[in-house]
């Protein structure tokens, strides 16, 4: 397993380890991260053999301990067979899924939390660097569950129906 240490929030590069660069070293959800490095000989035969992932072992409130694997947006990379070099980039997603969890509550999609995440290139997997997710400047209130959304929808429809009924009664001629 190869790990790059995370720089400070102001650092432009997480440093190098075995020739790998991760830029920037930290940022909030939505940050575009660029990486570049070289795989050891025999690790991969082509670009389709490569998987890029961002993960951390963390404790999620109401879930417990789990390996949070972030859904990456706009991930793309190139692989040069001659040099074994892999330059690529991705956008840090806002959600992920838990693996190796300690409770059944870990099933499903979870918000990404601030912390140190390992950037791994799988071909088979080995960690090539880290990226630190920092709190966003803007507050994120989260997403309401399906039950809450359904309840609010019923309340809104009922309120609208009552308002229509009251309006119709006012429009009826007096007897």
Most confident of 11-20, 83-92, 142-151: 83-92
* DSSP string across 24-76: SSEE-TT-EEEEEEEPPTTS-SSGGG-EEEEEEEEEETTTEEEEEEEEEEEEE
pLDDT band for position 172 (50/70/90)?
Answer: low
* Whether pLDDT at 148 is above 70: no
3-class secondary structure, 154: helix
What are the sequence ranges of the domains in the chain? Answer: 16-143, 144-175
Q: Are 70 and 55 contacting, i.e. CB atoms less than 8 angstroms apart? A: yes
Instruction: Label the pairing between strands 125-133 and 26-27.
Output: parallel
Q: Kindly report the length of the chain.
A: 175
3-class secondary structure, 164: helix
What is the tens place of the pLDDT at every residue in 39-93?
Answer: 777 666 666 667 788 888 888 888 888 888 899 999 988 888 888 888 999 999 9
Rounded-to-integer distance, Cα 109 and Cα 56, Å: 15
The model's pTM:
0.61
**Residue 60: partners with Cβ closer than 8 Å, 6 or more residues away:** 66, 68, 98, 106, 110, 113
- Reply yes or no on domain 16-143 having CATH 1.10.860: no
């Amino acid at each position: 397993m190869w790990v790059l240490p995370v720089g400070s929030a102001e650092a432009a590069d997480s440093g190098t380890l075995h020739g790998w660069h991760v830029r920037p070293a930290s940022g909030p959800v939505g940050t575009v991260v660029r990486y570049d490095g070289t795989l050891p000989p025999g690790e991969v035969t082509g670009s389709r053999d490569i998987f890029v992932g961002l993960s951390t072992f963390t404790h999620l409130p109401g879930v417990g301990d789990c390996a949070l694997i972030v859904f990456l947006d706009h991930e793309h990379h190139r692989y040069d067979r001659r040099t074994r070099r892999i330059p690529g980039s991705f956008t840090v997603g806002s959600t992920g899924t838990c693996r190796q969890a300690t409770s059944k509550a870990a099933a499903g999609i979870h918000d990404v939390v601030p912390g140190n995440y390992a950037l791994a290139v799988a071909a088979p997997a080995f960690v090539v660097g880290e990226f630190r997710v920092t709190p966003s400047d803007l507050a994120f209130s989260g997403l309401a569950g399906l039950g809450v959304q359904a309840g609010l929808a019923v309340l809104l429809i009922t309120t609208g129906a009552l308002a229509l009924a009251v309006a119709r009664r006012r429009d009826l001629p007096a007897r």
